[in-house]
Amino acid sequence: MKHAYMRNTQMNRLRYFTLAALLLAPLASLHAIDVANLRCEYLNNPLGIDVAKPCLSWVLEERIQGTGARGQRQAAYQVLVASTPGLLAKDQGDLWDSGKVASDQSIQVEYAGKPLESRMQCHWKVRVWTLTSDLRPLTSSSWSKPALWSMGLLKPGDWQAKWIEQQKPGVFAAVKSVNWIWFPEGDPAVSAPAEARYFRRVVTLPDGRKIARAVCQITVDNSLEVFINGNKAVEGKDWATPAELDVTGLMKSGTNSIAVMAVNSGGPGPAGLLGLLRVEFTQGEPLVIPTDGQWKAAKERKDGWEREGFDDSSWAGAKVLGPYGMVPWDTGGSEPWVPRYLRREFGVTKPVVRSTAYVFGQCYFDLFMNGQKVSDDVMNPALSDHTKALL
């Protein structure tokens, strides 16, 4: 009886261990590690990285179906970086294949592949090998989902663009000789009487040149009226918002006169006149007449002062106060916070494979393409000392 009992007990134990082995055998396949949350320079799929050897990071996530061994840790990793999604899908890292690296490092893994160049696209993925808490090795994880980073413009020579801004007023900043002027009395840029002053300039157009277009852009502190050849052309009441008018129909071949009544209103204070007349011809360079010392100025109004042929020989020469952008008519103080809007339209005739915009502003900006904001980022670019670095 004793031997029979022992045999039955041993067989029961054998059955138990066999059943346990059968139950536990699938657990290794039921328990898995995912590689997720891929980051380049701590960012998710960043564009325009300016680091030659960016640092890569990832996170291990346990995926358990049923009950399995917990507490796994990374024992090795492999990183693939490819120039196209297709090569990455084929497990070909033409930019970098780290091979199996025995390491538990999963943050700040420095890229060690081919040198990276401006505008380069880098598609990458990771897989790892893990150990359990009791040091039993497991098979490697599956490859992570692919991630991406792209390189920015790494060299100054890569920037082909030029700085632009919305000129205010008008296009005055593009004309080096345009100046604020006023009647010669004291220091008008500081304080001038609250009265009207009168200005004239005679313009002779070259013979034999046909006018294609003529535009007058002018502003004053505080209000003005402009006459072309005796015809009232434009009014203006705010120096920060210049008046602009197409005066093509008021111009003629030969001698033309520009006359301006400028009023310094609201009590003694700064007074100034700033403007230009731009005449474009069907052929050749345009003629630009800016406000400068060649203008005539008067303190009192005379009959017919605004008409063509008026004798202004007794008028004084206008006083040049300073160039566009001078104090007190600069863009300092609160002016930079006023929104500016810049647009550019262009045509595309071929199928678009990829389109990237590289933008920097010495202020915050939002970029729109065909009416849609291109990202959910706000307050771009990050703040920096503009005398040292422009991000």
Q: Which of 87-96, 129-138, 234-243, 246-255 has the lowest mean pLDDT?
A: 129-138
Checking if the pLDDT of 9 tops 70, the result is: no
Q: What is the CATH number of domain 30-157?
A: 2.60.40.10
* pLDDT score of 143: 96
Question: How far apart are the C-alpha atoms of 360 and 161, rounded to whole Å?
Answer: 10
Q: Which tens digits make up the pLDDT trace of 214-248?
A: 999 898 998 999 999 999 998 888 787 778 889 99
Write down the pTM of the prediction.
Answer: 0.53
Which contacts qualify for 114-117: CB closer than 8 Å, 24 or more apart?
A: 115/52, 116/52, 116/53, 116/151, 116/154, 117/151, 117/154
Q: What is the pLDDT of residue 256?
A: 95
SS3 372: strand
pLDDT for the residue numbered 140: 84
pLDDT at residue 14 above 70?
no
Query: With bands split at pLDDT 50, 70 and 90, how would you rate the model's confidence at 375?
Result: confident
30-157 and 172-323 have identical folds: no
Are 206 and 255 contacting, i.e. CB atoms less than 8 angstroms apart? no
Give the end-to-end CA distance of the chain in Å, rounded to a whole number: 89
The answer, yes or no, to whether residue 333 has pLDDT greater than 50, is no
- Please write the tens of the pLDDT for every residue from 21-38: 434 444 444 447 899 999
Question: Who has greater pLDDT, 171 or 183?
Answer: 183
128 Cβ contact list (under 8 Å, min separation 6): 33, 35, 60, 74, 75, 76, 77, 78, 106, 140, 141
- Is the pLDDT at 254 greater than 60, yes or no? yes
User: What three-state secondary structure class fits 371?
Assistant: coil
Let me know if 181 is exposed, middle or buried by CB neighbors in 10 A (0-12, 13-18, 19+).
Answer: buried
- Given a cut of 70, whether residue 15 has pLDDT beyond it is no
Token look-up 């294949």 returns 97
Looking at every residue in the chain, the average pLDDT score rounds to 84
* Structural domain boundaries in the chain: 30-157, 172-323
Q: In the structure, what pLDDT confidence band is assigned to residue 151 with cuts at 50, 70 and 90?
A: very high
**Residue 339 above 70 pLDDT?**
no
Does residue 266 carry a pLDDT above 80? no
Q: Is it the case that residue 343 has pLDDT exceeding 80?
A: yes
The predicted pLDDT at position 33 comes to: 82
Q: Which of 197-206, 235-244, 288-297, 329-338 has the lowest mean pLDDT?
A: 329-338
Whether 253 has a pLDDT exceeding 60, the answer reads: yes
Is the pLDDT at 255 greater than 70, yes or no?
A: yes
> What are the tens digits of pLDDT across the range 35-90?
999 999 999 999 999 999 999 999 998 765 444 445 678 999 999 999 999 999 99
Distance CA 94, CA 124 (A): 11
| Tokens coding 128 | 């790892």
Query: 10 Å Cβ neighbour count for 287?
Result: 17
Instruction: Copy the structure tokens of residue 329.
Output: 């008519």
Domain 172-323: what homologous superfamily? Galactose-binding domain-like (2.60.120.260)
pLDDT computed for residue 235 by the predictor = 83
